[in-house]
Structure 1
Amino acid sequence: MMVNDILMLLLGPEIDKAVSDYYSKYLTYSPLVYPYQVEIVNVERIGGFRTFHFLLTLETTPVVGPHISEGKDRLTFEIAPTIIPNQIKLKKFEHLETHELPPHWQDIIKQKAR
């Protein structure tokens, strides 16, 4: 669990940017992603044993306000020393679910997510 927590902290800025970019089309308020709300779905080593090129797929539940779930998303990152400058690149972003916001949070909706 400790290694998972470290990984989430290191990937946090990339996760936040991807989520913010997606939801900026739909909300006036950028959702937060807490490290404990990120689940590793799949890790794939590209190139075989002891290479340092990975595809990492995560699922997260971004929240607004007092931990109100906005939806569920799947992000796939490529991690490799050949990717410059920070060795992490978002390969795919999938919005899996849209959760209904309570009435007093409806004013942050620009348009419904698809």
Structure 2
Amino acid sequence: MRKILILFLPAYIVITMSINTIVEAVPKPPEGSRGELYQDLFVTILLPYIEQPINEYYSKIINVTPMVYPYQVDIVSAKRVLEGRSFLFIVTLEVTPVVGPHISVGKDRLTFKIGAPDEIGQSVKLIHFNHLETHELPPDLKHILRKQQSL
């Protein structure tokens, strides 16, 4: 067991460090800027791909479908996978799904691989979903919780 750990630990560290260098923080663009326009356009196009894993996760907790609004999606990082002007990207988003009158139910991080369909089999592919936070519902929305669950 120790030999396996000694062999794989350095590889794990190198891979983790490589992934961390790939991810670059994307600053929030100024309000009304062209950058904000492009971010909003990009998120709007990705919305169906964002909603599916969000709905799958929260369907186990609540009996209504949470909404995901483009202005509640932040681009955490975006990076070209290959050198030069390739059209294969890794994009990480933070999403705050809501129910009712914009009551947040949590925060989630989704990482997508985006590229030409011939490169990844489809143009958008979810490669990682991470539930970051669970937000408690106000008393008037507790009825949407599934039995034995609490937010």
Give the TM-score taking structure 2 as reference length: 0.71
> What is the match of residue 68 of structure 1?
103
Match of 2:72? Answer: 37
Query: For residues 4 and 29 of structure 1, what CA distance do their matches in structure 2 show?
Result: 28
Name the SS of the counterpart of 1:75 in structure 2.
Answer: strand
Q: Note the alpha carbon deviations across 1:48-103, whole angstroms, 9 max, x for none.
A: 11011111000011000000010111000010112334x00011111100000001
- In structure 2, what residue type is equivalent to 1:92? H
Any unmatched runs of 5+ in structure 2?
A: 1-35
C-alpha RMSD of matched pairs (Å):
1.1
Of structures 1 and 2, the larger Rg is shown by 2
8 Å contact from structure 2 (residues 97, 107) kept in 1:
yes
Q: Which residue in 2 is equivalent to 1:108? A: 144
**Aligned-pair identity (%):** 50
Stretches of 4+ aligned residues off by more than 6 angstroms: none
Query: Aligned residue for 2:134?
Result: 98
Q: How far apart in 1 are the matches of 2:88 and 2:150? A: 36
Greater relative contact order, per chain length (Cα 8 Å cut-off, separation 6+): 1
Tell me the matched-pair count: 112
The yes-or-no answer on 1:26 pairing with 2:61 is yes
**Distance in 1 between residues matched to 2:62 and 2:126, nearest whole Å:** 21
Instruction: Say if 2:136 and 2:150, in contact at 8 Å, map to a contact too.
Output: no
Residues of 2 paired with 1:84 and 1:30: CA distance?
Answer: 28
User: Is the strand fraction higher in 1 or 2?
Assistant: 1
Q: Tell me, which stretches of 5 or more residues in structure 1 are unaligned?
A: none
Deviations 1:33-55 (A, max 9, x none): 10000000011211111011111
Of 72, 88, 104, 2:124 maps to 88
Q: TM-score, normalised by structure 1?
A: 0.93
Task: Return the alpha-carbon distance in structure 2 between the equivalents of residues 84 and 105 of structure 1.
Answer: 41
